Amino acid sequence: MRNEQATQLLFDLSVSGRCGAEYPESDCPEFSSTACIPAEFLSDTPLPLPEVNEPDVIRHFTNLSTLNMSVDTHYYPLGSCTMKYNPKRHERLAAAQGLVDLHPWQSEEDLQGMLQIQFEMQQMLGEIAGLPAVSLQPAAGAQGELAALLVASAYFKDKGENRTKVIFPNSAHGTNPASAALAGFDCIQLGAGKNGFVDLEELKEHLDDQTAVFMITNPNTLGLFEPEIDKISKLLHDVGGLVYIDGANMNAILGITRPGDFGGDMMHYNVHKTFTGPHGAGGPGAGPIAVRDFLADYLPGPVVAHDEESGRYKLQTPPESIGRVRSFFGNVGILLRGYFYLRTLGGDGLKELSEHAVLNANYLKEKLKHILPVPNGEHCMHEFVASAQHLQKELGISAMDIAKRLLDYGFHAPTVYFPLVVPEAIMVEPTETESKATLDAFAATIEKIIGEDPELLHTAPHSTPVSRPNDVQAARNPILRWSPACDA
C-alpha cells in the first residue's frame, strides 16, 4: 500500500508555477525592495527551491512519516535512549497561547507565568539530583556536559589551580570525551574493569593534582549501579577533583538515590529521555545541569531567581558565570514538557516509574537470558546488555542480524555494538511504559528468530521499505544533497 509516487524526492515533484502558501498584497506598496535597498544587495534571480502546493506537501511528508518506526507505532527498546511513551497532553499544553508565542525580549513583567514555571523546574531538578543549583540553558545532554566542564574549569581557575585531566571509563558515551576535548581538557580513558565496573586501582593511578573531573554514567551503560560510586567520589574529592554524573540513565533512579547523595558534584539531565521530551527524530532535547552550591556562581545563564518579598520572578546571570552556551533562555519547548511530566507524576509517581522501568528490564532479561546471556550483573537497573557472541560462534548469527530481523516482526531494534566492553552487544531498555504482554511477545520473537535459517537473518529485514543500505558506498562517494545530476 505504499504510495511511491508521493515519496519521490520533493524536487522531482516540483512543477513550475505551483506554490503552497499565499500571502496578502502589501499595504505599504510604495516601499518595494527595489526602492528601499540598493541593487548591489538584491538577488536578481528567484531562489532555486522546488515548487509544490499544499496537498503535494502534505501527501509527500505524511507518506514519508509512515516509513518510520516510532514510539507511537512500535515497541522501541533502544538501549540508552529511554524511548518511553510521550504523553499527548504535553503536546497540547506546550502549544498553548501564552507559552508557545512568547518572545524572549518581552518585558519580564509580562512573562511571570513562564518564569515561574522555569523557576519551579530548576527547583524540582535540583531536588531530584540532590544538587541544588540548576541552569536550564544547555540545549542537549552534550551541551550540558560542555557547560559543566567549563564550570569546573572556572572554579579551578578561581582557586588558582591549573587542572588539565578529565577521566572517564571506556564504557562512556562518546559525548563525554568529545565534550572534554572541546572544553580544552586532556582525555584519559580507563580500561575495562571487572564486571564492567570502574577499577579503583586503575583510577587511583591517574589521580593527582592535575585531575579536574571524573565523568561517569551511573547507572552505567551496562545498566548496573556502580557499587563503589561513593568510594570513587571520595578518591576524586581527596585529590581536589570533581565528579560529573552523566544523567543519561536517570530513568532508573528517580526518588531512589540521587547523584548528589552518591558523591556527584555536577550532572546533566536529558529531558527528552527521562522526562519524555519527546525525541523528535533526533532532537530537540534539553540538557539542564545541576551542581553543588559552591559551583552555583559559575553556571551558564541566565537562570531564574525568585524575589520572596515582591513575589516576582526575574532573570539573573550568576556572578562568575562561564557565560552563555547558546542564545536566549534554553530549549523552553522541551523544558515545558518536562515540567508537565514532573507535575503529572509528582514525587511518588517519579519513584514509581523508576521501579517499573527496573521491573520491566529485569523481567525481560530473565525471559531472554537462556538465549541471550547477560555477562555482567545479577539484576540490572533500567536496561541490560546481552551478548550474541555464542550465537555468532555457533550459528553465525550476529547482534546485527537479530536487530535487523526484529524489524520484520514489527519491533524496533535494540542498540547493538554499544558499549564496546561486551562482544556482540545487544542493549535493551524496555522502559516503564510497556506491558508484560509486549515484553513477552518481544522475548518470544527473539527466540523464534534464533531458530530461523541464518541466511534469512543475514539478508534481513525483508519487509521494510529498504534493506541493508550500503554504508561503504555512501561514505566513499558522499551524495549529501539532491541535484539534477543525481537523477541522471
Partner 1 sequence: MEVRLSYLFNTPDEQREMLETIGVDSIETLFDQVPESLQLKRPLDIPSKLSELELEQLVRELASRNVGPSDRPCFLGGGVYDHFIPSAVDAIAGRSEYYTAYTPYQAEASQGSLQTFFEYQTLICQLTGMDVSNASLYEGGTAVSEAVFMAMRCTKRHGRVVLLGSLHPEYRQVIETYLGRMDCELVVVPTPGGTVAPAAVEEAIDDKTACVVIQHPNFYGCLEEVEQISAMAHKYGALSIVSFDPISLGILKRPGDLGADIAVGEGQSLGTPMQYGGPFLGILACRQEFVRQMPGRLIGQTTDRNGERCFVLNLQAREQHIRREKATSNICTNQGLIAIRATVFMSLLGPAGMRQVAELSCSKAHYAAQKLTEQDGIELAFDQPFFKEFTLQCRDGAEAVIERARAAGFDIGPALRRVSSGESEDRLLVAVTECRSRLEIDALADAIAGPGQKTVNDDKLATSSAAV
405 binds partner 1 (CB under 8 A): no
309 binds partner 1 (CB under 8 A): no
2 binds partner 1 (CB under 8 A): no
174 binds partner 1 (CB under 8 A): yes
Binding map of partner 1 across residues 210-239, x = CB under 8 A, - = no contact = --------------xx-x-xx---------
Which listed range, 198-206, 247-255, 289-297, 389-397, lies at the site for partner 1 (CB under 8 A)? 247-255
73 binds partner 1 (CB under 8 A): yes
Q: Minimal distance in Å, beta carbon 309 to partner 1?
A: 19
Q: Residue 468 in contact with residue 459, Cβ under 8 Å? A: yes
3-class SS of residue 264: coil
What do you get for the CA distance between the two ends of the chain, in Å?
27
Could you tell me which of 427, 435, 217, 250 has the C-alpha nearest to residue 338? 250
Could you tell me which of 278, 274, 222, 252 has the C-alpha nearest to residue 87? 278
**For residues 252, 256, 262 and 265, what is the CA-based torsion angle, rounded to 10 degrees?**
70
Q: Minimal distance in Å, beta carbon 55 to partner 1?
A: 9
3-class SS of residue 241: coil
Residue 296 or 335: which CB sits closer to partner 1? Answer: 335
Pairing state between β 313-316 and 303-306:
antiparallel
Residue 180 or 198: which CB sits closer to partner 1? Answer: 180
Residue 394 or 437: which CB sits closer to partner 1? Answer: 437
* Residues 29-68 within binding reach of partner 1 (CB under 8 A): 29-33, 36-38, 41-43, 46-52, 54, 57-58, 60-62, 64-68
**For residues 40, 45, 46 and 48, what is the CA-based torsion angle, rounded to 10 degrees?**
-120
Residue 240 or 410: which CB sits closer to partner 1? Answer: 410
The one-letter amino acid at 38 = P
370 binds partner 1 (CB under 8 A): no
Instruction: Give the strand order in the sheet containing 425-428.
Output: 384-387, 425-428, 415-416
Could you tell me which of 246, 297, 285, 283 has the C-alpha nearest to residue 267? 246
181 binds partner 1 (CB under 8 A): yes
203, 235, 236, 253: residue in contact with partner 1 (rule CB under 8 A): 253
Tell me the number of residues near partner 1 by CB under 8 A: 204
Q: Minimal distance in Å, beta carbon 394 to partner 1?
A: 25
* Residues 3-22 within binding reach of partner 1 (CB under 8 A): 7, 9-11, 18-22
Q: Residue 122 in contact with residue 303, Cβ under 8 Å? A: yes
Q: Residue 218 in contact with residue 229, Cβ under 8 Å? A: yes
Name, in order, each residue with C-beta under 8 angstroms of 16's C-beta and a sequence gap of 6 or more: 51
Q: Minimal distance in Å, beta carbon 60 to partner 1?
A: 8
Q: Minimal distance in Å, beta carbon 463 to partner 1?
A: 9
83, 235, 291, 428: residue in contact with partner 1 (rule CB under 8 A): 83
Q: How far apart are CA 27 and CA 317, in angstroms?
A: 42
- Neighbouring C-beta atoms of residue 71, cutoff 10 Å: 19
Could you tell me which of 374, 345, 484, 427 has the C-alpha nearest to residue 80? 427
Q: Residue 373 in contact with residue 306, Cβ under 8 Å? A: no
Task: Name the E strands within 325-408.
Answer: 384-387
**Eight-class DSSP state of 378:** S
* Residues 346-365 within binding reach of partner 1 (CB under 8 A): 346-353, 355-356, 358-360, 362-363
Residue 308 or 378: which CB sits closer to partner 1? Answer: 378
* Residues 406-425 within binding reach of partner 1 (CB under 8 A): 407, 412-413, 418
Binding map of partner 1 across residues 431-450, x = CB under 8 A, - = no contact = -xxxxx--------------
Residue 394 or 484: which CB sits closer to partner 1? Answer: 484
The one-letter amino acid at 28 = C
Q: Minimal distance in Å, beta carbon 483 to partner 1?
A: 8
Taking CB atoms within 8 Å and a gap of at least 24, the contacts of 345-352 are 347/255, 348/255, 350/128, 350/254, 350/255, 351/254, 351/255, 351/256
Residue 296 or 429: which CB sits closer to partner 1? Answer: 429
Which listed range, 202-210, 289-297, 343-351, 387-395, lies at the site for partner 1 (CB under 8 A)? 343-351
75, 214, 269, 340: residue in contact with partner 1 (rule CB under 8 A): 340
* Residues 261-300 within binding reach of partner 1 (CB under 8 A): 261-262, 270, 272, 278-287, 300
Helix crossing, 399-408 with 436-450: angle to 10°?
120
Binding map of partner 1 across residues 108-147, x = CB under 8 A, - = no contact = --xxxxx-xx------x--xx-x--------xxxxx-xx-
Residue 96 or 204: which CB sits closer to partner 1? Answer: 96
Which listed range, 91-99, 303-311, 383-391, 444-452, lies at the site for partner 1 (CB under 8 A)? 91-99
